[in-house]
């Protein structure tokens, strides 16, 4: 299937984005989105039972992490947000260890001490979710600076929300990255809501990517619920960064189906608004329908993917449930990093 990406706004050079989607790629994209959705549905079902503490679900935004991370290598870096399950899984982290972390088990990625908002897997370049709004900007920029200093080929991607774009760390990071032409792509997941504040109520521009012009870098806004559009647009910017041409901003227009956090009463919006998006703009259903109509995937392919995920989640839940809790004496471990030796 050959398609051309639909760009909502682009302030850079006009290049046509036309990509071919193979069956293998379609299977990978659908599997990743469904893996994220199943993970979030599992967290929602078990929250207040095996899973305690705050959790922010990624349901409705799966196309962003999936599309962007499909263009990254294992060695590339990502930084995440408080809503980080999707980014973690899309970058290649395991379901079982992610669930174990939310269960508070010692086999989790942070040994059960971090929970939902602090998932990290350095082995796949996932530098961590972050409970601080806008906390990933300078981490991703620092990672990109490290790549530059060692003359590497890796790229850093910083996921952030529309609310975080109003924080000072956004300007600090993007300004520095633009000045030094660092290999980093800032991906704004504009899900319409900064916690309880509607984006339309505080915006000064229709597209956040317009702000890129102030730093002299490209900015693109796309339909964030179209995984192929996200994939194609992010590929352009990631490849640009990898060539040493500097940073860029990608805004993905999406929607947060669940509340800001599990237990959010959501008095700031109507159930009808949420239902309309869920029924008519679900990113997974949109991709499934298109892939079937275009003949890239068959219903048999879809069924096989679901069967594979059934087994994966059955084993992951068993792993998380049967794993031990950390011992009380381990509470003071992992507070400080070990000794770092610097070669002279």
Comparing 6-15, 100-109, 126-135, which segment has the lowest mean pLDDT? 6-15
- Crossing angle of helices 95-102/299-322, nearest 10°? 40
Kindly indicate the confidence band of residue 249, based on its pLDDT and cuts at 50, 70 and 90: very high
Q: Kindly state the tokens that stand for 128.
A: 């961590």
**Region 185-190 average pLDDT:** 98
Beta bridge partners of 193: 198
Q: In the 8-state DSSP scheme, what is residue 116?
A: G
- Angle at 46 (CA atoms; ends 42, 48), nearest 5 degrees: 145
SS3 of 168-210: HHHHHHHHHHHHHCCCEEEEEEECCEECCEEHHHHCCCCCHHH
H helix or E strand, kind and range, residue 239: helix 227-242
- Summary mean pLDDT of the chain: 93
User: 26-63, pLDDT tens digit by residue?
Assistant: 999 999 999 999 999 999 999 999 999 999 999 999 99
Q: Where are the domains of the chain?
A: 2-316
Coil, helix or strand for 338? coil
- The dihedral built from the CA positions of residue 59, 64, 55 and 199, taken in this order, carries a sign that is negative
Does residue 79 register a pLDDT over 60?
A: yes
Write out the H or E segment, with its range, that includes residue 65. Answer: helix 62-69
Which residues are within 8 A (CB) of 135 and not within 5 positions of it... i.e. 6 or more apart? 81, 169
pLDDT of residue 20: 81
Position 238 pLDDT exceeds 90: yes
- Confidence at 95, pLDDT banded by 50, 70, 90: very high
As a whole-number percent, the residues of the chain with pLDDT over 90 amount to: 85
Side-chain-side CA neighbours of 131 within 13 Å: the count stands at 8
- Second CATH level (architecture) for the domain 2-316: 3-Layer(aba) Sandwich (3.40)
Tens of pLDDT, residues 148-165: 999 999 999 999 999 999
Give the rounded percent of residues in the chain with a pLDDT score beyond 70.
Answer: 94
Please give the sequence-ordered ranges of beta strands (E in DSSP) within the chain, or none if there are none. 2-4, 7-10, 18-20, 77-79, 156-161, 184-190, 193-194, 197-198, 219-223, 248-253
Model pLDDT, residue 203? 81
Q: Is this prediction's pTM over 0.85? A: yes
Mean pLDDT, residues 261-279 taken together: 94
Distance CA 132, CA 166 (A): 13
């Amino acid at each position: 299937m050959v398609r051309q990406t639909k760009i909502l706004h682009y302030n850079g050079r006009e290049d046509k984005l036309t990509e071919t989607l193979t069956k293998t790629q379609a299977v990978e994209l659908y599997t990743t989105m469904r893996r994220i959705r199943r993970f979030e549905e599992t967290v929602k079902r078990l929250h207040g039972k095996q899973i305690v503490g705050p959790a922010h679900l990624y349901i409705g935004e799966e196309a962003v992490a999936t599309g962007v991370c499909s263009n990254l290598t294992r060695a590339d870096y990502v930084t995440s947000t408080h809503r980080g399950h999707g980014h973690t899984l899309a970058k290649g982290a395991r379901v079982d260890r992610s669930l174990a972390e939310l269960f508070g088990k010692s086999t989790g990625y942070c040994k059960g001490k971090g929970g939902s908002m602090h998932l990290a897997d350095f082995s796949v370049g996932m530098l961590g979710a972050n409970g601080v709004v806008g906390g990933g900007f300078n981490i991703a920029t620092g990672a990109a600076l490290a790549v530059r200093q060692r003359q590497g080929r890796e790229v850093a991607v910083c996921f952030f929300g529309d609310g975080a774009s109003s924080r000072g760390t956004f300007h600090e990071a993007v300004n520095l990255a633009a000045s030094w032409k660092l290999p980093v792509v800032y991906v704004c997941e504009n899900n319409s809501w900064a916690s309880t504040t509607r984006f339309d109520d505080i915006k000064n521009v229709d597209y956040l990517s317009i702000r890129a012009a102030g730093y002299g870098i490209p900015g693109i806004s796309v339909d964030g619920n179209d995984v192929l559009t996200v994939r194609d647009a992010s590929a352009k910017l990631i490849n640009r960064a990898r060539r040493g041409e500097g940073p860029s901003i990608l805004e993905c227009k999406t929607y947060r189906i669940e509340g800001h956090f599990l237990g959010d009463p959501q008095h700031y919006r109507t159930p009808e608004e949420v239902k309309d998006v869920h029924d008519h703009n679900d990113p997974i259903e949109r991709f499934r329908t298109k892939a079937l109509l275009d003949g890239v995937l068959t219903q048999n392919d879809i069924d096989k993917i679901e069967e594979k995920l059934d087994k994966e989640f059955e084993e992951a839940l068993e792993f998380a449930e049967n794993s031990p809790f950390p011992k009380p004496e381990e509470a003071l471990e992992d507070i400080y990093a070990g000794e770092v030796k610097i070669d002279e």
